[in-house]
Structure formats: structure tokens, C-alpha cells
């Protein structure tokens, strides 16, 4: 089974922020629009050290009033105020408890982007929302000095991401949630929020109150989350399970093949929180996601998880690390399985490590990607047709060449089962022609892995394209700008065989 595939790298979306400067803020109409908190903090991946959204998969808890929360329960039709003190955090970094408050202070951000950095933050849980929905979030948090600020992230369980608001510069911040239904509460009736302080700033969180009202039975259903797909445990089938969304009467199940150009397809519906996808070919990877379906409409998507059918064997694992020449770990580097789409991407942690678990047998290409770094080697091949574990290691160099063009060229074909696959194309010429200078040409040829690189390009704007007889390529060409500031520029091409012309007598079947 061929497992070499093409990956068209896309930038990971940063945190979505709705600008607000004090009280009375409302949710932005497009919460997933790209924005940045202090430049580069992630939404849910935790790659900058922020906590991921709690999965909240346990049993419902009762919170005693001694910890600052009002006791849960009571008449669902009666509005309820639930208060959390600053000292009652679930997790925090860079904080000091002062009485009932938590003072958060972030250090300045290091100049070296390869050094890890975690901003000061406090993560909180609000219990007692079962049978209710939050109407407003009221935060009392005082910025340290004039010009300081903080951000508020609320766990959105419809899209399973932190939804961000800020910067907040006033001591009181009110978030109006009346027009929103179940995005911010789990099926257990819990709500989570996080306060983050930007670099070189401080803020003191005194308390936060949530006003909860009766549940709206006609509202949109809450999104399912914590989707898990089986990995090789079932022959010719993949089993799915997930945590239910609030007020969700049923679910639609979607699947996508593990290749770069694959499209999501609806494969079924269920009122349960489990689904069996069969029959499927053994040891072929698929991605899955689900969403709740109700009379008022659809929820947002669950998380994406991969799964494959097998014969009960343990899945394969690729793990490794990225270090600087002196051995220092390099965090925050995206590592991809070439050709398997955005879902097949991992980010190195504080220790520079990354992990691809739950993989089927096959051959893979592993490649790190970072706009400010070069890597030795640029990629590695891994054969997991017999072995179950592969260790790979990369060295990151900060003196990345500014005048470089590189990437992969793959052929679009079908494997033995008739499924579309991408196989590396060797011997393809990749040309870079300066715009306005038709007689000047820089070129390189792909190796057996479809990899090419063109070094030392002069300043200018280039038209890059792949050339190989009998094939057309997607995209037909790519623009590359070399201005002395841009980092190594990756461009991938997919080769599609040109069918024989019926009017060409030199082709089989021609007349």
C-alpha cells in the first residue's frame, strides 16, 4: 500500500478575538475569524502552554458554597448568580494568591522565537448550570498599571475552541451571553473560562459572577466533543464515540479520507453517541467528525479524530524531537505527515518532542515546517509496514536561507483498491522564472521522494512551475517573492496524467 501523500500546508488559525474595552461586550458574529492575542497564542492546541479546553467527561459534581460557588440546583426558571473567586482556579501560571484574589504577572517575551514562552493565566470552572444557560459573565479584574490589559477566553463547546475577548483595560468586564444557547456549557452543566495577561503586564482577578437563566428548549443544540475513533481494533470497521452536546436530539456523522484533497462526506446519522462505520478496507486511515442535528438547526463540528480498520493489532507510532545544534529543544514547530492534510499535523512541545500515534501500517514522509527555521534533514522517510515504532530527529538552524524555494511534487493516481492516492514523482523539473526576464531560468529536479529545492535566488518576483512530459500540474504555477526578508518558501505541485487524445494517431486508440 502506497502511503506517500501530498500536504498543502495551511497556516493554523490564531485566537479569534472580539475587540472590547470594558463592560457590555457581546460575542463577535464571526468568532473564527483570524486574529492574534499578543501575536501568536493558539486557540486550543496548547502549543504556547495555555491549557486546552477541559473535556469534562466525568460525572456531574456538586460544588460546595465554601469554595466560592453558589450551590447547584434550585428552580430552573429562576435566574441564579454563581460566583467564582480569583483564588479558586483550576490551573494557573505566573500567579500569586492575595487574599481571595489572584495576581497574574507575565514576564517579557524572549527575543529568540525558539525559546518557549507561557503567558500568565488562570483557568476557572463554573459549576451548577445544569438545566440552565448562562446569560452574562461578569469579571472583576484590575489591570496592574495604566496601559496594562488582560484577555478573557470562554470555552466554546459548539466549536470546541477558546473564544477570546479583549484587550480589557477596565476593572470590570461584562460579557452578554443572552443571544447564545449552549455554546459555553457542557452536558454536565459546567462552564470554563480563562484569563490571560499579555507579556510584561499584570492584572489581579478578584472574582467572576455568572448569571444563569432557564434553558431555551427551542435553541440550537450544543456541539458534541471528545470524539474518539478506534485504531485497528475492529476488522473492516471503525467505531466512533463522543461526548454529547447539550440539548442534542441526534447527530450526523462525517468521514474524510486521509489525503490532501479529500472532501468530507456524510456517512450516517444516529441518536446515540456511538457509531460503527463499516465495511472499510483494513489499514487505511480516515478522519471523522460529527455534529448535532436538531429542529432549530445544526451545531458546529466536533473535534476531528483519525481511525482505521484492522485485525486487532496495535497501531503504529512515529515520535521524535527537534533540537538546535547545541541540543536545546525547539518548541512550537509544526511537523506534518506529508500528503495527509491539515489534520495530520503536530506541534513540538516545550521539550521539542512530537508524536504521531494511532497510525496504520504504511510508509510515511515526516517534514517539519517553520517560517524562521531551516531543518537538517529537511524531511525523513519512515517505513512502518513491519515495525510498530519509528524515532525521527531533526536539527533546526536559525540561519535559514532567505533566497530558497523548496517543496514536494506528487502524482495523483489510484491504488489497488481504486482509492485516490499521491505518489512521489522523481525527475520532475521545477522552474523559477523571474517575472519580466523570460530568458533567465532557475531550476531543480525532484529526487525519488518528490523533493526539490532551489537555492540562492536573486531578489525579485518569480513564476514557479513543475514540468514533466505527459502531465499537467496543480497549481499550474505559483508566485514566489524574494525580497531579502521572506523565509524559505515552500511550494508543492500535484501531477495529473494527461489522457491520450482521440485525434492523436501516435497515442494508443488514436485514429
> Among 336, 367, 400, where does a domain finish?
400
Average pLDDT over residues 295-320: 87
Residue 419 has pLDDT above 70, yes or no: no
CATH number at residue 300: 2.60.40.10
On whether residue 111 sits in a domain, the answer given is: yes
CA angle, 93 then 97 then 98, to 5°? 145
On whether residue 498 sits in a domain, the answer given is: yes
Peptide bond before residue 475 is cis, with ω within 30 degrees of 0: yes
DSSP codes joined into one string, 476-488: S-EEEEESSSS--
Asked which of 45-59, 88-102, 179-193, 335-349 is least confident by mean pLDDT, the reply is 45-59
- For residues 254 and 96, give the distance between their C-alpha atoms in angstroms, rounded to a whole number: 45
The per-residue pLDDT for range 194-221, each reduced to its tens digit, is: 999 999 999 999 999 999 887 666 667 7
- pLDDT (0 to 100) of residue 187: 75
Spell out a b/e string for 25-63, using b for 16 or more CB atoms within 10 Å of the CB, else e. Answer: bebbeebeeebebbeebbbbeebbbbbbbbebeeeeeeb
Number of domains in the chain: 4
* Placement of cell 507561557 in the chain: 118
- pLDDT (0 to 100) of residue 258: 87
Average pLDDT over residues 428-452: 88
The band of 133, judged by pLDDT with boundaries at 50, 70 and 90, is confident
Say yes or no: 409 and 394 in one domain: no
On whether residue 197 sits in a domain, the answer given is: yes
Which of 67-71, 241-245, 304-308, 400-404 is modeled with the greatest confidence?
304-308
Say yes or no: 386 and 428 in one domain: no
> Among 214, 241, 270, where does a domain finish?
214
> Among 192, 214, 236, where does a domain finish?
214
- For residues 147 and 316, give the distance between their C-alpha atoms in angstroms, rounded to a whole number: 51
Say yes or no: 202 and 109 in one domain: yes
Which residues, including other chains, have CB under 8 Å from residue 327's CB and lie 6 or more apart?
none
Which residues, including other chains, have CB under 8 Å from residue 198's CB and lie 6 or more apart?
37, 38, 106, 119, 149, 150, 151, 167
- pLDDT (0 to 100) of residue 66: 29
CATH number at residue 108: 2.60.120.430
Residue 28 has pLDDT above 70, yes or no: no
Which residues, including other chains, have CB under 8 Å from residue 29's CB and lie 6 or more apart?
none
- pLDDT (0 to 100) of residue 378: 85
Residue 16 has pLDDT above 80, yes or no: no
Q: Residue 483's domain spans which residues? A: 402-511
Which residues, including other chains, have CB under 8 Å from residue 112's CB and lie 6 or more apart?
none
Residue 237 has pLDDT above 90, yes or no: yes
On whether residue 313 sits in a domain, the answer given is: no
The per-residue pLDDT for range 29-75, each reduced to its tens digit, is: 222 222 323 333 333 333 357 888 887 765 444 333 323 333 444 45
Which residues, including other chains, have CB under 8 Å from residue 81's CB and lie 6 or more apart?
70, 209, 210, 211, 212
Residue 467 has pLDDT above 80, yes or no: yes
Residue 26 has pLDDT above 80, yes or no: no
- Give, as one character, the DSSP assignment of residue 124: E
- For residues 114 and 100, give the distance between their C-alpha atoms in angstroms, rounded to a whole number: 36
Say yes or no: 29 and 97 in one domain: yes
Q: What is the 3-state secondary structure (H, E, C) of 134-166?
A: EEEEEEEEEECCCCCCEEEEEEECCCCEEEEEE
Residue in 136, 300, 298, 134 with CA at minimum distance from that of residue 216: 134
DSSP codes joined into one string, 189-249: S-EEEEEEE-TT-EEEEEEEEEEEEE--TTSPPPPPEEEEE-BSSSTT-EEEEEEPPTT--
CATH number at residue 330: 2.60.40.1120
Residue 510 has pLDDT above 70, yes or no: no
The mean predicted confidence, pLDDT, of the chain is 78
- For residues 45 and 56, give the distance between their C-alpha atoms in angstroms, rounded to a whole number: 17
Say yes or no: 439 and 389 in one domain: no
- pLDDT (0 to 100) of residue 144: 93
Average pLDDT over residues 299-304: 82
Say yes or no: 330 and 382 in one domain: yes
Asked which of 369-383, 400-414, 432-446 is least confident by mean pLDDT, the reply is 400-414
On whether residue 9 sits in a domain, the answer given is: no
Residue 124 has pLDDT above 90, yes or no: yes
- For residues 356 and 231, give the distance between their C-alpha atoms in angstroms, rounded to a whole number: 13
Say yes or no: 235 and 203 in one domain: no
- pLDDT (0 to 100) of residue 5: 33
Residue 475 has pLDDT above 50, yes or no: yes
**E strand or H helix at 330:** none
Say yes or no: 395 and 411 in one domain: no
Average pLDDT over residues 234-260: 88
- The helix/strand/coil state of 290 is strand
Residue 23 has pLDDT above 70, yes or no: no
Say yes or no: 202 and 267 in one domain: no
Residue 9 has pLDDT above 50, yes or no: no
Residues 370 and 114 sit within 8 Å (Cβ to Cβ): no
- Residue 457 grid coordinates: 535566488
Residue in 133, 127, 131 with CA at minimum distance from that of residue 179: 133
- pLDDT (0 to 100) of residue 259: 79
Say yes or no: 244 and 361 in one domain: no
- For residues 241 and 272, give the distance between their C-alpha atoms in angstroms, rounded to a whole number: 9
Average pLDDT over residues 242-271: 88
Tell how far CA 216 is from the center of its chain: 31
Residues 204 and 145 sit within 8 Å (Cβ to Cβ): no
- pLDDT (0 to 100) of residue 304: 87
On whether residue 220 sits in a domain, the answer given is: no
Say yes or no: 68 and 200 in one domain: yes
Residue in 183, 193, 195 with CA at minimum distance from that of residue 159: 183
Say yes or no: 390 and 429 in one domain: no
Amino acid at each position: 500500500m502506497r502511503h506517500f501523500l501530498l500536504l498543502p500546508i495551511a497556516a493554523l488559525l490564531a485566537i479569534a478575538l472580539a475587540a472590547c474595552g470594558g463592560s457590555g461586550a457581546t460575542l463577535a458574529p464571526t468568532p473564527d475569524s483570524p486574529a492574534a492575542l499578543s501575536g501568536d497564542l493558539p486557540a486550543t492546541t496548547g502549543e504556547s502552554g495555555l491549557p486546552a479546553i477541559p473535556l469534562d467527561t466525568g460525572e456531574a459534581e456538586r460544588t460546595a458554597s465554601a469554595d466560592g460557588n453558589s450551590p447547584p440546583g434550585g428552580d430552573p426558571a429562576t435566574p441564579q448568580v454563581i460566583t467564582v473567586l480569583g483564588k479558586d482556579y483550576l490551573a494557573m501560571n505566573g500567579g500569586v494568591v492575595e487574599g481571595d484574589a489572584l495576581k497574574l504577572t507575565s514576564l517579557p517575551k524572549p527575543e529568540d522565537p525558539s525559546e518557549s514562552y507561557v503567558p500568565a493565566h488562570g483557568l476557572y470552572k463554573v459549576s451548577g448550570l445544569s438545566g440552565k444557560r448562562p446569560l452574562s459573565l461578569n469579571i472583576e479584574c484590575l489591570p496592574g498599571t495604566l496601559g496594562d490589559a488582560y484577555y478573557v477566553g470562554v470555552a466554546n463547546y459548539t466549536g470546541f475552541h477558546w473564544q477570546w475577548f479583549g484587550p480589557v483595560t477596565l476593572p470590570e468586564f461584562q460579557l452578554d451571553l443572552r443571544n447564545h444557547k449552549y455554546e459555553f456549557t457542557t452536558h454536565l452543566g459546567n462552564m470554563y473560562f480563562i484569563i490571560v495577561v499579555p507579556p510584561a503586564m499584570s492584572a489581579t482577578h478578584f472574582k467572576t459572577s455568572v448569571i444563569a437563566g432557564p434553558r431555551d428548549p427551542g435553541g440550537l443544540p450544543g456541539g458534541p466533543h471528545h470524539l474518539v475513533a478506534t485504531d485497528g481494533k475492529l476488522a473492516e470497521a471503525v467505531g466512533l464515540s463522543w461526548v454529547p452536546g447539550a440539548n442534542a436530539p441526534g447527530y450526523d456523522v462525517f468521514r474524510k479520507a486521509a489525503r490532501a484533497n479529500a472532501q468530507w462526506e456524510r456517512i450516517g446519522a444516529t441518536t446515540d453517541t456511538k457509531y460503527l462505520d463499516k465495511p472499510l478496507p483494513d489499514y487505511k486511515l480516515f478522519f471523522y467528525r460529527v455534529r448535532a442535528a436538531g429542529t432549530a438547526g445544526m451545531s458546529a463540528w466536533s473535534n476531528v479524530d483519525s481511525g482505521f480498520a484492522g485485525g486487532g493489532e496495535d497501531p503504529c507510532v512515529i515520535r521524535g524531537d527537534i533540537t538546535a545544534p547545541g541540543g536545546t529543544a525547539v518548541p512550537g514547530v509544526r511537523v506534518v505527515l506529508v500528503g495527509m492534510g491539515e489534520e495530520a499535523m503536530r506541534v513540538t512541545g516545550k521539550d521539542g518532542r512530537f508524536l504521531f500515534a494511532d497510525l496504520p501500517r504504511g510508509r510515511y514522509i515526516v517534514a517539519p515546517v517553520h517560517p524562521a527555521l531551516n531543518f537538517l534533514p529537511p524531511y525523513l522517510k519512515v517505513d512502518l509496514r513491519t515495525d510498530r515504532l519509528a524515532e525521527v530527529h531533526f536539527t533546526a538552524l536559525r540561519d535559514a536561507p532567505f533566497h530558497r524555494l523548496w517543496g514536494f511534487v506528487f502524482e495523483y493516481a489510484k491504488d489497488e483498491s481504486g482509492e485516490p492516492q499521491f505518489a512521489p514523482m522523481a525527475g520532475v523539473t521545477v522552474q523559477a522564472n523571474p517575472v519580466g526576464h523570460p530568458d533567465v531560468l532557475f531550476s531543480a529536479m525532484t529526487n525519488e521522494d518528490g523533493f526539490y529545492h532551489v537555492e540562492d535566488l536573486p531578489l525579485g518576483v518569480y513564476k514557479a512551475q513543475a514540468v514533466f512530459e505527459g502531465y499537467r500540474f496543480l497549481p499550474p504555477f505559483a508566485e514566489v517573492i524574494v525580497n531579502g526578508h521572506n523565509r524559505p518558501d515552500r511550494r508543492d505541485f500535484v501531477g495529473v496524467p494527461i489522457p491520450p487524445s482521440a485525434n492523436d494517431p501516435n497515442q494508443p486508440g488514436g485514429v
